[in-house]
Amino acid sequence: MTLTRRLVLTTAISMALAILVTSVVFGLLGRRALVAQAEGQAAVVARIIAESARLTEVSLEETDAVVSDILTSLALTANHIEDPVPSDLSNRLAEIVARGGLDSIWLIDDKLSVVASSIGGYSAVIRGEEVPAALSRQALAELTSGERYSADFGPAVDGVHYVGVRAAGHRVLVVGQPVAALDAVKEANSVPVLMRELIDHDNIISIRVVDDTQKLLASAGPQLSGEIYDDLTTAAIATGAPSSAIRAGHFWVAAPIHDLAGIVIGAAIIEMSNKRLNQLLENLLLYGIGACLIVIAIGVTLAVASARRIARPVEAMTRAAREIDTRTFDPASLDALAAHPDELGRLARIFRHMAIEVQRREEHLEQLVRARTLELEHKNHLLEESARRVEAELAAARSLQAAMLPQSLPADPAYSGTASMLPAREMGGDFYDFFALDDHRLGIVIADVSGKGVPAAFFMAISRTVLQASARESASPGLCLARSNNILCSQNPMELFVTAFYGILDSRTGELAYSNGGHNPPLAVRRADGDVVEVPRTGGMALGVMSDMAYAERSLQLTPGDTLFLYTDGISEAMDEGGQEFTEGRLKEALRGSGTDSVEVVLASVTDAVAQFVGAAAQSDDITCLVIRYLGPPETLAA
């Protein structure tokens, strides 16, 4: 993704997230404001309902008092009527009842007997009739005795409210007014009427009023199970504060109702539509999305312009970097960008200076490389010539070393033999030798110089010469090794040493007298059974390590047909690619049963077994071996 697209995408995503988060935050704040407004509205409705209930109660009490006063006035008015005959009095009372909308008028004497009355507007005189039992006898007695002027007989009796006044002649005039006359007033001022008027205003669906025990006192609107709002009512009554929730698709608010002392005496539960909440959230979402799109469009346009302004210098420097790599850079191509006073201009100036320095250093390095290349070519030419000379000299030395070793045994019908030396490098440190000491004794030598290469080859030549000279001057193998050891210790500036096995074979008897100076003991292959045995050890030290050393001697009797195999550790310690050695055990297996094979075949079978075992692994040491077979005394062969 290019830098321009990355900047534009980053700007657009940042703006979109910022607007969406802002919209969500404002939506939540708006929702919280609406909830608070609804709770406040419910609290106001609760106060209105409580105040309406109180005012209704007060107005009804005041109405009752007014009615009582009116009845008292009517009774007093009726009391001033002249005292005609009872029939005329009853007619007048009936007229008062009819005109005043009263229920009845009673004229009672001091014996609490009815003197005259009019009930329901009918004329009648019922002398001696008892007054209603519900009227207080004590109040009537106080009125007839003159102790009281008027009296309200309290609660209505059979739907009639009675009021009495004192009349002349120790009598009482009782007036009755039907309570149903106040029903219209009560109905007009009741709480349910107010609640019904509030329905459908401000999305109010229903209103319920309960007391502090959650007993339903009044309701308006659809009736639902109280389980929906019971916990809200309990919380409002317990805390004295409104509580709200959205349930059953509507918004419910419970507000406490307080009395004049501020004590919670109930709660008003208002069910409202949550349309306003949903509409607010939808509007905020729509407005947020619209604003987001507009701002993103503006932001993307500005981001594209800014990104291009930023990316163009970067592209110019990238192009300049490619030109530096291809060596086509022109410092003048960054002049316009370097003239900018901002950070990009400073970066361009630094980059241009760096590019110029890089070009200069590259040119200087190229000059140095060309000079060094010519110098190296000359030195490589000299080295190649030296290597060719060294190789030629090593080849000559290798040829001379190979020529130093005898190619065949001295001609004698009593024995036959062959030998092989394969150096690990150009020149080796192993050597073998056989030479006639007299007409019936053959000296046999196999040795291994420590180290490899040219130093080992020179020490090998010295050791061979010393051993051969000592062998001709010494009568026994032990004396020969002791003499050779003293000479090598005195002429060994590089402190090399050589392991050597020296034996003298008597062709007349087949006896092999030998001494070993730290070398691998030879192996003898018996013709009789093909068994392979190790020549007994003598325990001598390698030559050139310490002077004045004595070397023990032993002898081995060979029978006609027996084969003697002498070798260096390059055979037993030859390693394959896995680092495993050939070992003496494998050597004995290769020799077992070879007593009837020719000495050349014996030598080839061993070297082939070693080569097959080593495989592709590099040769780690010189491989040298010598095979001699005793054929028997010359007299026996002639016979």
pLDDT in tens, 575-600: 998 889 999 999 999 998 887 889 99
Query: Mean pLDDT, to the nearest integer, of 46-58?
Result: 61
492 or 155: which leads in pLDDT = 492
**pLDDT 10s digits, 61-76:** 555 555 556 556 555 5
Structural domain ending residue among the three candidates 184, 208, 230: 184
Instruction: Give the pLDDT band of residue 388 (cuts 50, 70, 90).
Output: confident
Examine the domain organization and report whether 373 and 439 are in the same domain. Answer: no
Examine the domain organization and report whether 533 and 589 are in the same domain. Answer: yes
Range in 247-261, 290-304, 462-476 the model is least confident about:
290-304
Examine the domain organization and report whether 546 and 628 are in the same domain. Answer: yes
CATH code of the domain covering residue 629: 3.60.40.10
In 3-state terms, what secondary structure has residue 190? coil
Ranked by mean pLDDT, which of 217-231, 302-316, 477-491 comes out on top?
477-491
Structural domain ending residue among the three candidates 157, 184, 211: 184
Examine the domain organization and report whether 334 and 448 are in the same domain. Answer: no
pTM of the model: 0.45
Examine the domain organization and report whether 468 and 594 are in the same domain. Answer: yes
Examine the domain organization and report whether 451 and 461 are in the same domain. Answer: yes
Structurally, the chain folds into a number of domains equal to 3
Examine the domain organization and report whether 510 and 607 are in the same domain. Answer: yes
Domain limits for position 398: 330-404
Q: In this model, does residue 305 exceed pLDDT 50?
A: yes
Instruction: Give the pLDDT band of residue 525 (cuts 50, 70, 90).
Output: very high
- Kindly state whether residue 248 falls inside one of the protein's structural domains: no
- Kindly state whether residue 304 falls inside one of the protein's structural domains: no
Examine the domain organization and report whether 391 and 427 are in the same domain. Answer: no
- Kindly state whether residue 284 falls inside one of the protein's structural domains: no
344 or 443: which leads in pLDDT = 443
pLDDT at 136: 82
Alpha-carbon span 269 to 247, nearest angstrom: 13
Q: CA dihedral defined by 356, 357, 360, 363, rounded to 10 degrees?
A: -100
- Kindly state whether residue 298 falls inside one of the protein's structural domains: no
pLDDT at 62: 58
Examine the domain organization and report whether 394 and 418 are in the same domain. Answer: no
CATH code of the domain covering residue 166: 3.30.450.20
pLDDT at 113: 78
Examine the domain organization and report whether 410 and 397 are in the same domain. Answer: no
- Kindly state whether residue 371 falls inside one of the protein's structural domains: yes
- Kindly state whether residue 121 falls inside one of the protein's structural domains: yes
| CB distance 515 to 551 below 8 Å | yes
- Kindly state whether residue 477 falls inside one of the protein's structural domains: yes
Alpha-carbon span 243 to 224, nearest angstrom: 18
Q: In this model, does residue 397 exceed pLDDT 70?
A: no
Instruction: Give the pLDDT band of residue 190 (cuts 50, 70, 90).
Output: low
| CB distance 461 to 443 below 8 Å | no
The closest of 205, 197, 201 to 274, measured between CA atoms, is 205
- Kindly state whether residue 369 falls inside one of the protein's structural domains: yes
Ranked by mean pLDDT, which of 94-103, 342-351, 434-443 comes out on top?
434-443
Instruction: Give the pLDDT band of residue 49 (cuts 50, 70, 90).
Output: low
Structural domain ending residue among the three candidates 404, 432, 467: 404
The closest of 274, 208, 223, 252 to 46, measured between CA atoms, is 208
Instruction: Give the pLDDT band of residue 483 (cuts 50, 70, 90).
Output: very high
Examine the domain organization and report whether 568 and 541 are in the same domain. Answer: yes
Examine the domain organization and report whether 346 and 425 are in the same domain. Answer: no
* CA distances (Å), origin 506, targets 409, 565, 627: 14, 17, 16
Query: Mean pLDDT, to the nearest integer, of 555-563?
Result: 94
Please give the mean pLDDT across all residues of the chain: 79
